[in-house]
Structure 1
């Protein structure tokens, strides 16, 4: 109930009023049945803008940190995400990927829409990074189509680290559903799931027009952390 109140009464109308999202390709979202919506991830605002414009309910796999934050702010954030039906996923450890796949397949088994960001984390610089293969595994195991999605302009309104978004028009663009029945039964073959994932990322790239980096965003972020903690002093 909270999801629909939030979508149609509170947050949805407010987001449409403030950001006047330009919506393209909404007809590509299936009217019923299970499907995966795979998008780029540029901003915290993405969590709200995409669900606000999709007519059907969509469940996202959200990072566990949104549910475990300290203090009053942390409790409010956790309550918000739980009430909106989002699923926490621990992204640390060897079993993290398998846990995400199990949770995602649970959503798809109910004939619902699953939202996922194949990059695994927000882009820190507005570029599109290499996708993780979980999206391909879920698409094959569940036998569902993947709808590519591109958020355009959300990095500019709220880049990482900026608490409040700027009021500026954004675009949400959906591509034609992609089906991978030709790979049926190959979800355990690394070459197959890598090929599917790259195909999905290329579709997102075509929609977004971003610069593509053939590396995982998390790895690039990890390399940048020491520079942030210990900036070089000017001589």
Structure 2
């Protein structure tokens, strides 16, 4: 309930009024049933504008620490992240990547829409970086179609390292759903995982018009991935 209040009553109308986001291909997102939205990642603002143009709740996974910080700040943080469609990673297994996969599989089995950033972290220079194979593992384990998504201009609104840059009109483009049922039962094959991931990234590149860089964004910035979309290609099959 708080998600819908924030999206449609408070935050949503304000963002639409101020930034006037445009959208293309929103009709490709099904009105019901599970689906994975795999997006490029230019800015922290991506997870505000992309879900804003989808008529369904889009759920991302986030670090559990955001939901368990004590005190007033912790309560505010938990309320905000919960209200904007984020859920904590299930880390009962100890590993964030395994927990993210398990959490997202559970959501998809409930018929929800899961958002994921295959690059694993924000692009520091506006280029599109190599996708991590967590998105492929999620697609093959769940049997759910993947819709590639391209956001534009969010890095102008909120550049890396800044809360706000300058006003720009953000855009969100949805591509055709990608069906990977031909790889059913092959989720443990790392070559298949890489092929599926590369196909998804190619479609994102085609939609966004970004220059593609065949290396991980985290290595370019010399940091570990911090956003949804971890590389879980080395994990055992989730139950």
TM bucket, shorter chain: 0.7 to 0.9
For residues 94 and 191 of structure 1, the distance between their equivalents in structure 2, rounded to whole angstroms, comes to 26
Note the residue ranges of structure 1 that are not aligned, 5 or more in a row: 226-235
- Whether the 8 Å contact between 2:90 and 2:102 is mirrored in structure 1 is no
Distance 1:166 1:88, change over 3 A: farther
Deviation per CA, 1:134-173: give whole Å up to 9, x if none: 1111111111100000001111111111113532211110
The aligned counterpart of 1:148 is 148
The Cα shift of 1:120 comes to 0.9
- Paired residues in the alignment total 223
Indicate yes or no: 2:195 matched with 1:195. yes
The Cα shift of 1:187 comes to 0.2
The Cα shift of 1:216 comes to 1.0
The aligned counterpart of 2:237 is none
Distance 1:61 1:218, change over 3 A: same
Work out which of the two has the higher radius of gyration on C-alpha atoms and give 1 or 2. 1
SS in structure 2 of the partner of residue 169 of structure 1: coil
The aligned counterpart of 1:217 is 217
Deviation per CA, 1:74-114: give whole Å up to 9, x if none: 652332002334123389x9822211110110110001100
- Whether the 8 Å contact between 1:12 and 1:53 is mirrored in structure 2 is no
The Cα shift of 1:36 comes to 0.1
| TM-score, length of structure 2 as denominator length | 0.86
- Whether the 8 Å contact between 2:156 and 2:167 is mirrored in structure 1 is no
The Cα shift of 1:220 comes to 1.5
Note the residue ranges of structure 2 that are not aligned, 5 or more in a row: 225-239
Indicate yes or no: 2:26 matched with 1:60. no
- Whether the 8 Å contact between 1:63 and 1:90 is mirrored in structure 2 is no
- Whether the 8 Å contact between 2:147 and 2:174 is mirrored in structure 1 is yes
Decide which structure has greater helix share: 1
SS in structure 2 of the partner of residue 118 of structure 1: coil
For residues 66 and 210 of structure 1, the distance between their equivalents in structure 2, rounded to whole angstroms, comes to 31
**Correspondence list, 1:38-57, <5 A:** 38-57=38-57
SS in structure 1 of the partner of residue 156 of structure 2: helix
